[in-house]
């Protein structure tokens, strides 16, 4: 008597294919083809998306089980797959070469692989336990630093006994920066409100997307502003002669000579500009988008394509232009553009971006929403202190990330050497 999904099937029923105990099953069709492999522990019926290998005398079934899982076998398997769904024909499967050592060696191979797999299972369990503990330690250290960002707690944040993900560190640093918890406040600094009054003096504040010209007094932030800080909509702290704009819509053919370099979303990375793969547009086309020709000091942000990219334009990129998927924010000279970049790069801003994405087939950030975005404005001197501290801490995170990459590479090499040593033992 054999079984099909737990149901008894009468012997001799030809409607069902039967695999006997110790047959090796392998998926032959679909996304699991060549990847799902198992050994039967009893006689069992199986479906038409599986192949069953009932091994011959002199062949160890678990040896075949491990051969099927080898990357070299799967490479040949995948090369013979056809069709939209993806599958391998029986004849193509039977043509796959399989190395067959003597039976005694097969048994030794199976025993050694079983031993190594058991070791891997123990290592995996221990790794999961360590990661659980490290995650708890990381959260505690981040919370401790957020509550009291002192040098002592900063040292604990970068403690070598456990690793916090660099991405989480960067988020925490930027969150503390925009909340005024990263550097000390100086009561003698000129307050942010005075800066805003000076920006708005002599000319009405720029109209924003919802028609308001001043920051709504009832507007709320997800955090409290420190003493001396003020609040403004991004559209109200721009240069009086420029506004937030996106760049060239259609780049056209790249000129063979001369031309103007243009920054696309692939060039605007997280807090930096990457000039790899940069291309040009004609000078005439660039002049048609004169509002986005860069002077240096502007803040750029990706509004389509690869969102999350943002950077300050360095002076040596003066004269460059931007593409449609990038927006330029010409920050007023009374505001440090690097501080605005810190705000835009922070989880506070990036969370708002996710909430306000517009578009169905192709999501993008609406410029009106960007102009209305609420920006905390600390004293100018404090803006500079915040930027300097962020740069310092980000450099530490970069070093940590490089160390983690080196450690992982070293661990991988040690593991490879360990496996090689174990597999050569008798």
- Vertex 377: Cα angle to 302 and 202 (nearest 5): 95
Backbone angles phi, psi at 374, to 5 degrees: -85, 125
Mean pLDDT lowest among 60-64, 127-131, 326-330: 127-131
The pLDDT of residue 43 is 87
Return the CATH number of the domain spanning residue range 180-388: 3.90.220.20
- Vertex 413: Cα angle to 34 and 126 (nearest 5): 75
The pLDDT of residue 149 is 60
The pLDDT of residue 407 is 65
CATH superfamily of this structure's domain 2-100: DNA methylase specificity domains (3.90.220.20)
- The model scores a pTM over 0.75: no
Mean pLDDT lowest among 57-61, 339-343, 351-355, 358-362: 358-362
Please name which of 173, 130, 165, 126 lies closest in space to residue 149, comparing C-alpha atoms. 173
Mean pLDDT of the 184-200 span: 92
Top pLDDT among 13 and 332 is at 332
The pLDDT of residue 186 is 92
Q: With cut-offs at 50, 70 and 90, classify the pLDDT of residue 210.
A: very low
The pLDDT of residue 32 is 86
Mean pLDDT of the 23-29 span: 90
312-330: pLDDT as tens digits: 999 999 999 999 999 999 9
Edge-to-edge strand ranges of the sheet holding 44-46 = 7-9, 2-4, 44-46, 17-19
Share the mean pLDDT of the chain.
Answer: 82
94-114: pLDDT as tens digits: 889 988 899 999 999 988 888
Q: How far apart are CA 328 and CA 294, in angstroms?
A: 8
141 pLDDT higher than 80: no
Mean pLDDT lowest among 125-129, 144-148, 299-303, 348-352: 144-148
The pLDDT of residue 371 is 92
The pLDDT of residue 404 is 66
359-386: pLDDT as tens digits: 544 567 888 888 999 999 999 999 999 9
Mean pLDDT of the 80-91 span: 87
Mean pLDDT of the 223-232 span: 91
The pLDDT of residue 313 is 96
372-423: pLDDT as tens digits: 999 999 999 999 999 998 998 888 878 777 776 676 677 666 666 655 655 5
Backbone angles phi, psi at 225, to 5 degrees: -80, 140
Encoded tokens for 191? 């307050």
Q: How far apart are CA 168 and CA 171, in angstroms?
A: 5
Mean pLDDT of the 27-35 span: 88
Spell out the SS3 assignment of the chain.
CEEECCEEECCCCCCCEEECCCCEEEECECCCCCCCEEECCCCEEECCCEEEECCCCCCCHHHHHHHHHCHHHHHHHHHCCECCCCECCHHHHHCCCCCCCCHHHHHHHHHHHHHHHHHHHHHHHHHHHHHHHHHHHHHHHHHHHHHCCCHHHHHHHCCCCCCCCHHHHHHHHHHHHHCCCCCCCCCCCCCHHHHHHHHHCCCCCCCCCCCCCCCCCCCCCCCCCCCCCEEEEHHHCECCCCCCEECECCCCCCCCCCCEEEECCCCEEECEECCCCCEEECHHHHHHCHHHCCCCCCEEEECECCCCCEEECCHHHCCCEEECCEEEECECCCCCHHHHHHHHHCHHHHHHHHHCEECCCCCEECHHHHHHCEEEECCHHHHHHHHHHHHHHHHHHHHHHHHHHHHHHHHHHHHHHHHHHHHHCC
Top pLDDT among 205 and 156 is at 156
93 pLDDT higher than 80: yes
- Residue 84's contacts (CB-CB under 8 Å, 6 or more residues apart) are none
Cβ contact 380:333 at 8 Å: no
266-285: pLDDT as tens digits: 999 999 999 999 999 999 99
Of 1-5, 14-18, 75-79, 157-161, the range with the highest mean pLDDT is 75-79
């Amino acid at each position: 008597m054999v079984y099909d999904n737990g149901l008894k099937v009468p012997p001799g029923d030809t409607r069902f294919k039967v695999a006997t105990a110790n047959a090796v099953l392998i998926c032959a069709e679909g996304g699991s083809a060549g990847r799902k492999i198992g050994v039967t522990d009893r006689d069992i019926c199986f479906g038409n998306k599986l192949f069953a290998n009932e091994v011959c005398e002199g062949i160890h079934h678990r040896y075949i089980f491990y051969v099927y899982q080898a990357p070299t076998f799967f490479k040949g398997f995948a090369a013979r797959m056809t069709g939209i769904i993806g599958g391998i024909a029986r004849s193509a499967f039977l043509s796959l070469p399989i190395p067959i050592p003597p039976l005694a060696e097969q048994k030794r191979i199976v025993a050694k692989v079983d031993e190594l797999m058991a070791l891997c299972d123990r290592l995996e369990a221990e790794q999961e336990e360590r990661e659980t503990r490290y995650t708890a330690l990381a959260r505690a250290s981040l919370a401790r630093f957020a509550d009291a960002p002192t040098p002592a707690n900063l040292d604990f944040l970068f403690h070598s006994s456990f690793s916090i993900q660099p991405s989480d560190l960067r988020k925490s640093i930027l969150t503390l920066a925009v909340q005024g918890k990263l550097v000390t406040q100086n009561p003698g600094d000129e307050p942010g409100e005075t800066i805003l009054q000076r920006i708005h003096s002599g000319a009405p504040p720029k109209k924003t997307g919802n028609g308001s010209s001043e920051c709504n007094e009832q507007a709320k932030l997800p955090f409290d502003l420190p003493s001396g800080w003020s609040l403004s909509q991004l559209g109200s702290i721009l240069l009086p002669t420029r506004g937030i704009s996106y760049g060239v819509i259609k780049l056209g053919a790249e000129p063979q000579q001369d031309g103007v370099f243009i920054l696309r979303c692939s060039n605007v990375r997280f807090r930096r500009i990457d000039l790899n793969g940069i291309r040009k547009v004609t000078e005439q086309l660039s002049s048609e988008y004169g509002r986005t020709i860069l002077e240096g000091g502007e803040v750029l942000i990706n509004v389509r394509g690869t969102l999350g990219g943002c950077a300050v334009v360095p002076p040596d990129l003066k004269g460059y232009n931007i593409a449609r998927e990038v927006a330029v924010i010409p920050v007023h000279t009374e505001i440090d553009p690097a501080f605005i970049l810190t705000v835009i790069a922070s989880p506070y801003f990036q969370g708002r971006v996710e909430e306000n994405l517009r578009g169905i087939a192709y999501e993008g950030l609406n410029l009106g929403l960007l102009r209305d975005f609420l920006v905390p404005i600390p004293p100018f001197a404090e803006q500079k202190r915040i930027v300097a501290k962020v740069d310092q801490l980000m450099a530490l995170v970069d070093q940590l990330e490089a160390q983690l990459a080196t450690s992982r590479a070293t661990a991988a090499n040690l593991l490879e050497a360990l496996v090689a040593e174990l597999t050569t033992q008798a």
